[in-house]
């Protein structure tokens, strides 16, 4: 996930919700859950390291999904299964028809051949993916395991989901699939997404992004004998120059980046193609669409200008002028935000007040974007402990303080589910 500064203007906490959270927190069953968490840390670190040793590159999560399905069965979840795209599900029964969903993405950013040298030093573990999303998956497993170890009353049933495709080119495909399936789209009342370490943030606004690969193709040729045919690198450079001059608002915050350019084969060849990758982000769908238009126009104009210029030259030289530009969408994450009266935000903020946990409400791009963009209640929070170096080989996770996040997740789920009689 990537995040932005906090937003202001949060509504007052509702006394009824605060009261319910305080009552739950003082109940003997929740007290024994807290004690149970205290004894589980060795098991949790063990799971976290075991999982991090199983590669899970984008579109290659099957082995890790199988591992998680085994853990779901082992801790006693019902209806454990893996869907068509590789998402892992397990349920815990309740009394209502709609679910409280607890999910964590199982994919990593690391390519399949990345060495997964996972090491432990005391409470700290090191290696790719240990925190993002080892912390999230293990917190989810801890809650699932707890439910079979300590009897906790709740009305709505729980569904636990280890989903694929959160990172980069995965483009939220796991969540997208779940929320395009009527069975889940219509039955998940609240989505609690666990992503990374920590307990100090609440992502309540989905930052949207669109990503493009822009490809320019031309006839190519020899730098000397074919001089004058359109050059895709020159066209791309002109398109970049025009597009980069597009103005963007600070509110709603909107950004763009040209992150990769490629093209050409040798210094004495006119290239046959050149390409770039562009990232556009905003909390507003309208701004994202406006920037996309600007990108398409900049490309069209650069192609047209160069085609005209090449035709002028070819009148004398009789060279082919055929040149084309193409914009391929390689990523599309919808924007969305919670309504100001959303129950899920009231609940997690009341839980934070109860636990004396200072957390900031933020906007970011997470799995929660999908339910948020559909107008459903969803937030993303951390799996506890602390971590750093996400998306690098130096990634680390420290389990100190993990209990706080487990308490926070549990209280939030129980309050959302309501009490069963």
Point out which residues bind Zn ion (CB under 5 A). 132-133, 195
CA distance 134 to 56: 11
Residue whose CB is less far from Zn ion, 287 or 398:
398
Question: Would you give the end-to-end CA distance of the chain in angstroms?
Answer: 38
d(CA 205, CA 372): 8
Using the minimum distance from each CB to Zn ion, give the nearer residue, 107 or 398: 107
Q: Which is nearer to Zn ion, 1 or 270 (CB)?
A: 1
- 187: helix, coil or strand? coil
DSSP string, 121-156: ETTEEESTTTTTTHHHHHHHHHHHHHHHHS----SS
CB of 54 to Zn ion, least distance (A): 16
Within 53-115, residue ranges assigned H as helices are 62-74
What backbone torsions phi and psi does residue 51 show, to the nearest 5 degrees? -70, -40
| CB closer to Zn ion, 118 vs 414 | 118
Nearest CB to Zn ion, comparing residues 143 and 364: 364
Pairing of strands 360-365, 201-206: parallel
Q: Which is nearer to Zn ion, 3 or 27 (CB)?
A: 3
Q: Please, which residue, 195 or 205, has the CB nearer to Zn ion?
A: 195
**Closer CB to Zn ion, 21 or 381, in the complex:** 381
The CB-of-171 to Zn ion minimum distance in angstroms stands at 13
Minimum separation from the CB atom of position 330 to Zn ion (A): 19
Q: Which long-range contacts (CB under 8 A, 24 or more apart) does 236-242 make?
A: 236/261, 236/263, 236/274, 236/275, 236/276, 236/302, 238/301, 238/302, 238/305, 238/306, 239/214, 239/298, 239/299, 239/301, 239/302, 239/303, 239/325, 240/276, 240/298, 242/297, 242/298, 242/301, 242/302
CB of 298 to Zn ion, least distance (A): 32
Residue number, 174 or 208, with CB nearest to Zn ion: 174
Give the relative orientation of helices 402-417 and 343-354 as an angle to the nearest 10 degrees.
140
Residue found by looking up tokens 């391929």 in the block: 328
Question: Least distance (Å) from Zn ion to the CB of residue 408?
Answer: 18
Instruction: Give φ, ψ of 41 to 5 degrees.
Output: -55, -45
Report the nearest approach of Zn ion to the CB of residue 166 (Å).
6
Residue 200, CA distances (Å) to 126, 193, 348, 356, 410 in order: 22, 14, 11, 11, 16
**Half-sphere exposure (Cβ direction) of 209: Cα atoms closer than 13 Å:** 25
Question: In angstroms, what is the minimal distance from the CB of 109 to Zn ion?
Answer: 9
Task: Give me the least distance between CB of 2 and Zn ion, in Å please.
Answer: 10
Q: Is residue 328 within a helix (H) or strand (E), and if so which, with residue range?
A: strand 324-333
Residue closest to Zn ion (Cβ): 132
CA distance 156 to 190: 10
Report the alpha-carbon distance of residue 296 to residue 239 in Å, rounded: 9
What Å distances lie between residue 219 and 215, 263, 315, 328, CA to CA? 14, 13, 16, 20
Q: For Zn ion, which is the closer residue by CB, 134 or 157?
A: 134
The C-alpha atoms of residue 400 and residue 386 are separated, in whole angstroms, by 7
Residue with smaller CB distance to Zn ion, 118 or 390: 390
């Amino acid at each position: 996930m990537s995040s932005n500064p906090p937003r202001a203007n949060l509504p007052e906490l509702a006394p009824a919700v605060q009261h319910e959270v305080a009552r739950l927190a003082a109940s003997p069953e929740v007290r024994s859950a807290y004690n149970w968490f205290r004894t589980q840390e060795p098991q949790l670190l063990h799971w976290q390291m075991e999982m991090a040793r199983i590669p899970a590159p984008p579109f290659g999560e099957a082995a890790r999904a199988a591992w998680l399905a085994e853990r779901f069965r082992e801790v006693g979840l019902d209806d454990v299964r893996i869907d068509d795209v590789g998402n892992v599900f397990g349920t815990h029964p309740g009394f209502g028809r709609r679910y409280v969903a607890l999910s964590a993405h199982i994919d990593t950013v690391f390519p399949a051949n990345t060495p997964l040298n996972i090491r432990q030093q005391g409470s700290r573990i090191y290696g790719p993916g240990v925190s993002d999303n080892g912390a999230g998956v293990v917190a989810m497993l801890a809650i699932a395991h707890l439910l079979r170890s300590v009897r906790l009353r709740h009305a709505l049933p729980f569904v636990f989901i280890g989903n694929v495709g959160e990172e980069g080119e995965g483009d939220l495909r796991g969540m997208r699939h779940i929320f395009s399936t009527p069975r889940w789209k219509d039955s998940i009342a609240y989505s609690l997404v666990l992503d990374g370490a920590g307990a100090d943030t609440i992502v309540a606004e989905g930052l949207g992004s669109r990503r493009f690969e822009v490809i320019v193709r031309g006839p190519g040729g020899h730098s000397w004998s074919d001089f004058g045919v359109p050059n895709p690198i020159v066209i791309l450079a002109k398109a970049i120059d025009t597009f980069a001059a597009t103005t963007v608002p600070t509110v709603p915050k909107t950004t763009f980046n040209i992150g990769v350019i490629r093209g050409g084969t040798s210094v004495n060849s006119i290239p046959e193609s050149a390409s770039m990758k562009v990232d556009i982000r905003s909390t507003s769908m309208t701004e994202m669409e406006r920037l996309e238009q600007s990108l398409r126009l900049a490309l069209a104009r650069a192609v047209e200008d160069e085609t005209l210029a090449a035709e002028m030259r070819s009148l004398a030289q009789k060279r082919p002028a055929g040149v084309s530009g193409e914009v391929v969408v390689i990523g599309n994450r919808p924007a969305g935000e919670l309504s100001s009266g959303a129950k899920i935000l009231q609940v997690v903020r009341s839980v934070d007040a109860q636990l004396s946990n200072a957390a900031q409400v933020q906007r970011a791009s997470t799995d929660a974007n999908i339910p948020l963009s559909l107008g459903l209640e969803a937030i993303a929070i951390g799996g506890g402990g602390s971590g750093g170096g996400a998306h690098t080989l130096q990634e680390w996770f420290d389990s100190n303080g993990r209990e706080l996040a487990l308490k926070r997740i549990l209280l939030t789920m129980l309050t959302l589910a309501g009490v069963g009689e």
